Chain A
Amino acid sequence: MAAKKIYDENEIRELIPRCIAGDETAYAALYEMCASGVYRLAYSILLHQQDAEDVMQEALVYAFKSLHQYDPSRAGFRTWLYHITVSRCRNARRRKWLPTVRLSHLLDLGIEPMDEQEPEIDYEWQNARETLDHALSQLSPRLREALALRYGQDLTYREMSEILGCPQKTAESRVRLAHESLRTMLTEADAAFLREFST
């Protein structure tokens, strides 16, 4: 695959008619723009690599087959696509009870520690990541969805409310509750490390 393209709503709207007409290069361009975001969202919610990959494929197949039903006047393409993704994540969660995520899952994803770091920094980075990931896994699914959309995808509360199918105030409250839960779960030592690491 080529380097990821930056998400561009206008370009996507130009690609959609070409996709409907059967242009495979348009499908490839659309996939390149959207697949990574869909996978990250699915993984942030499910915290499982294989499930996230399955959800990404299901969501994109459904979206590509239903492009003729997409109405730009009702919602942005990303909002529409993420709505499908969250729905598929909920289905996947119903099918399977999620296990606690281990560090190995993160490593399998190809998330490599930053280059040119000292070995002890790598170890601490992994520990911090594992601590945060464990805290995420303790959140309720609804709060994790909200956090993934707000912090993982940088969506507005209005977009979140459309994707989650809830009032905007509810979306805001879920993010706040998730934030409070994470703050409680992260130990003071982790927070101290995070402060040190971020400097």
Chain B
Amino acid sequence: MNRHVKHLLSAYAHDQLSPSRRRRVTHHLSRCEQCRAAWLRDQETVGRIRREMRTLGMPDRAVLARGYGAVMGQVRLNRPHLSFHWLPSLGMGLAVMLTFALLTSALIGGATYAGAAPLPPIPAEIQATWTPVVTEPPTAPTLVAAAEDVRPVASQSAEMHPDVLSTSIPLMLSPVPDAPR
């Protein structure tokens, strides 16, 4: 309790001590003449600083008049007040909407690929149909010529209906007489 508290006086004045320490300083000041004198001196200095600071830099009329002219001149220049502070928000909103639309279409549509389109169905009226071929039995003088005519045609007959071949082949086996021995 005999230790002086001068080093704590500023903190004491600004209420920055813990409750127990504050009680100790208060108690010490009530008993120590030296510390109490320092405390009173400190308080006087603070009071003086406070009074001086309140009048420090007090502007005169000329400063205020100049300031008013300058301030109002600039404020008037900006009237009517056109505020475009919403413009960045609008731009950001549009960008978000565009991104959302692109992402949505990509997710729903899936990946794109290149491929041939399916063939269109053939109309019924132009589809190939089998037409029966009826051949008259040839007469005797024309058998050889007919056989010669038939041979090249035989290559084509592969494309003909089997029924057509079956009717013409027996006619082609005996048109030429056997050679003399």
Contacts and interface: CB of A to CB of B under 8 A. Distances in A.
A complexed with B: yes
Interface of A: 1, 20, 22, 24, 27-28, 31, 35-36, 39-44, 49, 52-53, 56-57, 60-61, 64-65, 68, 109-111, 129, 132-133, 136, 147-148, 151-152, 154, 172-173, 175-176, 179-180, 182-183, 186, 191, 194-195, 197-198
A60 B71 contact: yes
Interface of B: 10-11, 13-16, 41-42, 44-68, 70-72, 74-75, 78-81, 83
A180 B10 contact: yes
Given A182-B49, A198-B48, A60 B67 contact: yes
A176 B67 contact: no
Contact of B48 (A31, A109, A194): A194
A111 to B, nearest CB: 6
A194 B44 contact: yes
B42 to A, nearest CB: 7
B59 A35 contact: yes
Contacts of A57: 67, 70-71
B18 to A, nearest CB: 13
A100 B59 CA distance: 20
Contacts of B42: 183
A61 B75 contact: yes
B58 A36 contact: yes
A65 B65 CA distance: 19
Given A53-B66, A176-B16, A151 B49 contact: yes
Given A151-B50, A176-B14, A39 B55 contact: no
A148 B57 CA distance: 11
A36 B59 contact: yes
Contacts of A109: 57-60, 63
A43 B71 contact: no
26 contacts: A1-B64, A1-B68, A28-B68, A35-B59, A35-B68, A36-B58, A36-B59, A44-B53, A44-B56, A49-B63, A53-B67, A57-B67, A60-B71, A64-B71, A65-B78, A109-B63, A111-B55, A132-B48, A132-B49, A133-B56, A136-B56, A152-B54, A172-B15, A176-B11, A191-B44, A198-B47
A17 B51 CA distance: 36
A64 B16 CA distance: 38
